[in-house]
Every structure is written in structure tokens, then in C-alpha cells.
Structure 1
Amino acid sequence: MSPTNTFKFRPATLAAGDDRWFVEAWDSTLPYLASIGSTSQWQYIPSNLPGAVSKVKKMVEDSDLSSQKYPISSPEVLSEHGVPPLDWDKAYVAEIDIKREDIPIALADRYSNEQGEIVTIPVGAMVLQGRSPEYVRSVIPEQDEKDPFIFLAFLMTDHRAGKLAKGSGSALLNIAKEEVKRLGLKRLCGDCWRGNGRRLVGYYDGQGLKAIGDFDVPKNEQDSWEGAVTEWRA
């Protein structure tokens, strides 16, 4: 049996350059997706698309601002209707401490100037929000006063880290579930691509997030991005 990686977690911040790392790690997913027949999940290199770079930067920036406005996660944060504020955002980075000699080749240049025998590298990222994105509104509303939720807007593993990142997605999802509980809620929602035989939907199902509805986002006159909304309940 292979050893289990031990992760630590911190808020993502602009000061730490996490927005740039998010995009680099996002780029790293493309060769892996191609290897499993999921090229259509992302058909572009995020770092080459200004809109994608700006989107990621705004996620981290919004998290910075939200952490100042809502420094703790507790039921006191909820509005008078018992729902998360629409501007509640929380971005996380999962990290792992490794020996310098174990730095993956793909990351060697980035961490070659780090001091000490133990090096900390980021291996996964997650963004949580107090609202759903517009493209899933055919399945769930922006927020639901009768059945409020936190929305998982972004979950990613840095494939440059190889086996060191294994398990980081599951660990971050556990953090998301704890956030739901700390806020006094019962529901975590998210969305994912449903192509390639719903392989990614199956991954989330294994993590306890069950598919509750499908949607399509038009990409052009002939094609669309196929998605599914998922849900976990405490």
C-alpha cells in the first residue's frame, strides 16, 4: 500500500502569488485530461486566455476581500434569511512538506532557490462561494433561502507535483464540507463536466457529491459544454 500524503491548508492570497500559481496548475491538467480522453473538458490553455487569467485572479482577490469582511466561518456570518452572503468567498491552497531531494522535476526550477532541507509546495486549490454561477441556474438558483448552500466553484490538482498531489482533491473537499458545517448549513453544491462517460461526475459521486441535474452551456452555434450540478448533504 502506498503511503498517504499529509496536507496542510491555507487561504489563497494575491500577496503569495497564488493567482499565478492557480493558472499554472490549471495548465498542468491539460496533458492529463488528454491522456484519459477528456480533452473537451478544457479546449484551451488557460494561461493563453486573458479571460481565464482574469477570472482566476478575481477569485483570489474576492477571497482576500471576503476574509477581511468575514474573518471567521460561523452561523453569525449568515444573513437574516439564514443564507451565506452572496459576496462570501473562500479560496484554499493545499500544500505538502517534502525533502528537497523529492522535488518533482517539473517543479525543480521553481523551488531551486528555496532554503532548508524541507520545502513546502502547493499541490491543490479550491474556491468556495456563497452563490452559484449563472450558467447552472437552470438547475439551482443563485442562492436558496429555503435550502441554502455553499458552492464549490473551483477544484484543481497540480499535475506537475505527480504523486505528491494524490489525495489533495479529496482533502480539500473535506475542508469544504467542514466549512458547510461551521456555517451551520447542510448543503454543498458544485458543478463539473459530464462528458467522457460522466467520468468526472463519478469522481464527485465517490466523494459524496451526487448529481442532481444536467445543464448545457453553448460554446458556438453547433457545440456546447456539458455540465452536471452535484450536491453533498451534511
Structure 2
Amino acid sequence: MVQIGKFHIRDAGTSPIDLDAIMGSLDASVKHLASNGNGEQWGPKLFSEKDGYREDVGEDLKNSENYRLTGQGQATRTFIAEIEDANVEDGLPRRVDKNGVSWLPVGNLEISENNLGDYFTDMVDLRPYLEEAKSIEGGFLCIVFVMSDVRAGERAKGSGAAQVEYAKQYARERGMKALYLDCWVGGTQGLVRIHTNWRLFFRAAKNKAHLLARPSVQDVAVSTGQDKVSQVPRVEAAVI
């Protein structure tokens, strides 16, 4: 378990509450996106209502633990961000450790080593980024998803940035030189603003359906060349 600020980042799949916590946060995010003008990102259907999705997430957790323990199989890991919180009145799942301390999951993170995902091969405009990634000496880390649980309200504030910081630490410890992620740039472009606040830099794919980030594992400084980040399809950055 690693502490970043007020958040503990731990391996997912090590507590029986983890699958429910992740599925609950996904469903809550669907509702939250619909309420703030970004419902197009994931659509109206709850993840818990999608055939086989819960089972797929469960398999992801098993694969994560298998890779952590054996170094074999798919090189992906899933983590839970949690805070100490015993207020059970909110009805959210909690983990109770061996000392009787209650921990509330407030976010989750999935990362993949040296793999950007199938759609980088399937989408012609993204293939150059795939080739670039493959050429990086020391390898790279891809953030498959990073999420804060909106059900936790203010208690989850900052958990996204903490999880990204943990991903950077994970990459550095393994000698990796770059961290990649992509995000949706439709709707209100809120994800662009959030990611820029995380001090990552972004370049939009030509089809503007995704935004690809390739920050150095070191910190970066962001410059957009325009007044509002939400108005630009491309963001430039310099490593500091």
C-alpha cells in the first residue's frame, strides 16, 4: 500500500469489496456524465446492465493479481484509491483491515505495461503514436482508465491526480520513460481541463474522438497558445 496525500493506493482484487466498488463507481459515473452534459461519452446504459461486463471486470482483477504475484500473463494491473472513513451511513462498500480500520474506496486505476490497446492498431490516425511508443527505450506505461467515485463527493477530490502520480511512480520504478493515456474530447471537454490540471500534456488525434497524452515520466509544463484549454484541440508542452 502506497500513500499519496490522504489517499492509500492498494492492489485491487485483494478485498472482496473491490468488484462491487468498481462496478458501483462505473454506474455512478454514467449518471454523473448524463447530468453534466457529457452523457455521450459512455452512453445511457449502466455498466451493471451490460451483458458480461461484471464478469469481465472480475477477470481483470484476477489477471491483475496473477501478474502481480507471478509476473506471468497479461501485463496489466488494477488499483484502488481509498481513504480512512468509518461513516457507513452513505451505504458505500468499505474494507475493514486487520486493525479494525475502515477504508472507503474513492477511485480506481488500471494500467498496462507496453501496450496502448487494440484501438491504436484499429484506428489509422492513432497508429503513429503506437509506433512512437514501441520505439521508446525502457518501455512505457499506459493508463487504461482512471476514475474517481462521484458517490464519495468531496472525499474523492484529488484522487484522480493521486492515482496518476502513482502511475508515474510505478513507471519510474520499472525504468519506463513515458506515460500514455487517452481521453474523450467531446461534450464540455471537461476531461481536457482535468488532465491539464494534472500537469500532463496532450495532443489530439486527427479525428478528435480521442485525446492522446504522452507526458514524460518527469513533470511537464503546459502551454496551450490560447486563453482557454477547453477551446483548443491541441495542447503543447515542454518537459521541465
Q: Distance in 2 between matches of 1:114 and 1:11?
A: 14
Q: Return 5+ residue gaps in structure 2 as ranges.
A: 219-240
TM-score (norm 1): 0.76
How far did residue 189 of structure 1 move?
Answer: 0.3
Matched, 1:193 2:180: no
Aligned AA (1:226)? A
User: What letter corresponds to residue 204 of structure 2 in structure 1?
Assistant: G
TM-score, length of structure 2 as denominator length = 0.74
RMSD (CA atoms): 3.0
Instruction: Give distance in 1, aligned partners of 2:206 and 2:12.
Output: 30
Equivalent residue in structure 2 for 1:105, among 90, 95, 118: 90
Identify the residue that residue 145 of structure 1 maps to in structure 2.
135
Q: 1:215 to 1:124 in 2, by over 3 A?
A: farther
Q: What is aligned with 2:235?
A: none
Structure 1: how far apart are the matches of 2:18 and 2:148? 14
Structure 1 residue ranges without an equivalent (≥5):
71-84, 217-224
Give 2:203's match in structure 1, choosing from 201, 209, 212: 212
| C-alpha distance in 2 between matches for 1:150 and 1:23 | 24
Q: 1:36 and 2:75 equivalent?
A: no
Note the 1:1-234 alignment, pairs <5 A.
Answer: 6-13=6-13, 16-43=16-43, 44-70=45-71, 87-98=74-85, 100=86, 102-103=87-88, 105-107=90-92, 110=93, 118-130=101-113, 131-137=115-121, 138=124, 139=126, 140-141=129-130, 144-147=134-137, 148-214=139-205, 226-233=209-216, 234=218
- CA drift of 1:192 comes to 1.2
Identity, in percent, stands at 24
1:7 CA drift (Å): 1.1
Runs of 4+ in structure 1 over 6 Å off:
113-117
In the alignment of these two chains, the number of paired residues is 205
Distance 1:58 1:188 in 2: 24
